[in-house]
Amino acid sequence: MATAEVAPPERKQWSNPVEFFLTLVAFAVGLGNVWRFPYLCFKNGGGAFLIPYTLMLIFIGAPVFYLELTLGQFTSSGPLAVWKVNPLLRGIGYASLATNCFLALYYNVLIAYCFYYLVASFQMIVPWSTCGNWWNTALCTDQATLANLSRTDLALMKNMTSSPSEEYFYRRVLQISSGVDNVDGIVTHLVVALAVAWLICFLALSKGVQSLGKIAYFTALFPYVMLTVLIIRGATLSGAIEGVKFYMGTVNLTVLKSPSVWKEACTQVFYALSCCSGGLIAMASFNDFNNNVYRDTISICLVTWFTSIFGGFAIFTVLGHMATKMGVSVADVAKGGPGLAFVVFPEGLSMMPFAPLWCVLFFLMMCTLGFGSEFSIMETVMASIIDEFKTYLNTPKKIIIFRFTISFVFFLLGLSMVTRGGLYVLNIIDQYLGGFPWLIIGVVELYCIGWVYGVDNFCDDIALMLGEERRPGKFWRICWQYISPLILIFTILFSSLFYQEVTLDDYTYPSWALTLGWLVVILCLGWIPYIFLAEICGRGTWGIIKEARLPHVEWGPARDEHRQLSIRYANAVDPKKLSMQTLSTIDTGDSYDLDRAAIEIIAASPKLFVKRLSDVSSARF
């Protein structure tokens, strides 16, 4: 006797809109808000950098963010299935998913660093504050020694000494090798930390968005508590005002003449909002069809803008105190990237009274920020694959086994970045992934929706979800079609013309390692031309190519009730599947295009009150 085929489980949704909003906050606000934005402000004219950053947020960040949330919510599909809107450009989804996979790999390694520092902070004297340990060299000079030197001596010894925190990070935590070609084995304690990070990630995502939404209450809100505590404590330290002056106190408007400042503002917006990685589409796909994504877009953009500035005060008050105690300028201690989080800032915290307490709070905050983004990144990967193979992954048990398998495979792939040469590999992936892929995906996305699918159709879809009163105005239409793609194209061209080879501090990569970096770019972006050509070859003639640029027959809202709200989507629906609620809104006396079966169902129900669909509030559904 043949067994009945098991139907795939119904796609889960957020328990309430608050969970979705907090998950977006945790996803968008990540480690980069702590170590990237403050340094960019300091480097690019202080408060003047807020001008290009704010403009880029308005004209690029918000439009792309709104577009991706709308796509996910309208179709209730992940970043792979959503691009049925144009079969020729389905490669956008695979490109986004590929970037997400690389991002998830190295992001969890950074979390493993934070986790190791967190555990090491539970000591009376934090180990990165002193010399004389087995990992220190003869060049190690602690703060007590530096405090007794004059400015002249400090300047002379600048390149002849190393700090305890620097040697702790590179020689104890990383046990770093001489170069990328010298892997020199794995670092055991980092492997353990990475395994714990992936285990936490699996447990948090074992039930998908149902568990992710609950965890978001902590991962989204706790970092703000810690940032506030650090700012209050930092403001009471000597030299804090000097740090704030270097951060925002100086406004050098002349830097705005430099195209590189605008380029860095553009890329920072993509980092800050997590655009074009597929994550926004995936998170929105679990929404109710009528959720107000316009409100969410404006709110998240404001939260991200505020958090980037707010976090900088926590960093630079401590750096100002650190520079004052060392007798140097803030410019001499400020760094960007992981060097700020794992070298400079821990050293500054070690100079504070009750240093272990502040180190624990800081690295607990860093772990929370990291996990908040990593959970959403991995849920995007897992949910996208589950959507594609839902006929096979059709029971809760199979889905949990699949989620564990994915987590374990990513852990194994991440081992390459916890070797003694792992930081070189991590830096290569980070630099090449954050350059061209997201910007190019953004351009193709905007072209696909704004010009191929059509901005009018897209606005109709938004009005279908949110009601006619929330139909996008001219600002959004102009941004989607003209302003946003043109700015992104300019940024890509500028980055290409003034391209510089990737380095790690003073280390220069060999040519084969840089080739691996470009291979990462190809593995991400190569999906777009590959699927385009595959569709052309599979369909044959140019006439069929014109047909292929139209949306797939399955494009549109996922549920039949929502498809029936528009003539464009209703004809592909079997009317026997429609709920009586939807049928009660259909006007049989109007020219609404229904097939015979739908009309028979309506005619058999004489008590139904009939209204035009366009007059029915979308909130009823």
Count of all residues that appear for the chain in the document: 621
SS3 labels along 508-553:
ECCHHHHHHHHHHHHHHHCHHHHHHHHHHHHHCCHHHHHHHCCCCC
CA pair distance 227, 273, nearest whole angstrom: 19
Residue 131 tokens read as: 């010399």
Contact present, 410 and 104 (Cβ < 8 Å): yes
Which element (helix H / strand E) includes 504?
Answer: strand 503-504
- The alpha carbon dihedral of 305, 334, 495, 516 has a sign of negative
Q: How many CB atoms lie within 10 A of CB 353?
A: 8
Please name the amino acid found at residue 417.
M
Residue 264 tokens read as: 């860095």
Which element (helix H / strand E) includes 503?
Answer: strand 503-504
Q: Write out the DSSP string of 401-450.
A: HHHHHHHHHHHHHHGGGSBTTHHHHHHHHHHHHTTHHHHHHHHHHHHIII
Contact present, 447 and 92 (Cβ < 8 Å): no
User: Is 616 exposed, middle or buried, given 0-12, 13-18 or 19+ CB atoms closer than 10 A?
Assistant: middle
Contact present, 423 and 504 (Cβ < 8 Å): yes
Q: Write out the DSSP string of 102-115.
A: HHHHHHHHHHHHHH
- The alpha carbon dihedral of 468, 473, 478, 480 has a sign of negative
Residue 17 φ/ψ, nearest 5 degrees: -60, -25
- The alpha carbon dihedral of 301, 306, 311, 316 has a sign of positive
Return the axis-axis angle of helices 527-539 and 91-120, rounded to nearest 10°. 160
Binding site for Na(+), by residue number, is 28-29, 33, 369, 373
Residue recorded with tokens 């504050």: 129
SS3 351: coil
Contact present, 437 and 243 (Cβ < 8 Å): no
Residue recorded with tokens 């309430």: 16
Residue 25 CA to chain centroid, in angstroms?
10
| List of long-range contacts for 10-16, beta carbons under 8 Å, 24+ apart | 11/76, 11/285, 11/286, 11/387, 11/558, 12/208, 12/209, 12/210, 12/286, 13/209, 13/286, 13/287, 13/288, 14/209, 14/213, 14/286, 14/287, 14/288, 15/210, 15/213, 15/214, 16/213
Binding site, by residue number, is 28-29, 33, 369, 373
